Amino acid sequence: MSNGQLERRMEFIVEQQAKNTIDIQKLQVAQSALTKKHNHLTEALTTVVGMVGKLAEAQEKTEENLTELANKQAETDGRLNILVDVVERYFSGNGKQRNRSRKLKSLRNGVKGSSKKSPRKK
């Protein structure tokens, strides 16, 4: 191998090393940018997971409150039915109050009784 060939090979090796160095620097820059994006996404994911956890807790509380409300509503319905029965018995025992008893029954069944408004006096 002559000196000229040796110099060309050395020059080729040096050029390849320079190209490799530039490529490594570009990869380092790209990796740095990707690392920043990854960190940002990790923080966002952590935030979302926390929000989902809080939402699940709130949903459980809402379900508990709704169940309690439904139970209280059933209790109120039962008490109201007892009161309506007492009032119906009271009015049905007094013959003069039959119309009121019918109105109470219709109200209990969800039908509003007709109400006649007295004319206004001028």
How far, in Å, CA of 75 to CA of 68, rounded? 11
Residue 8 φ then ψ, to 5°: -65, -40
> By CB neighbour count within 10 A (0-12 exposed, 13-18 middle, 19+ buried), where does 102 fall?
middle
User: pLDDT tens across 17-72, in order?
Assistant: 999 999 999 999 999 999 999 999 999 999 999 999 999 999 999 999 999 999 99
User: pLDDT tens across 107-118, in order?
Assistant: 677 644 444 444
Query: Please, which pLDDT band fits residue 106 given cuts at 50, 70 and 90?
Result: low
Residue whose token pair is 């956890």: 53
Pick from 79, 78, 84, 74: nearest CA to 106: 84
Structure tokens at 108: 């209990």
- In the chain, where the domains are located: 3-105
Question: pTM for this structure?
Answer: 0.49
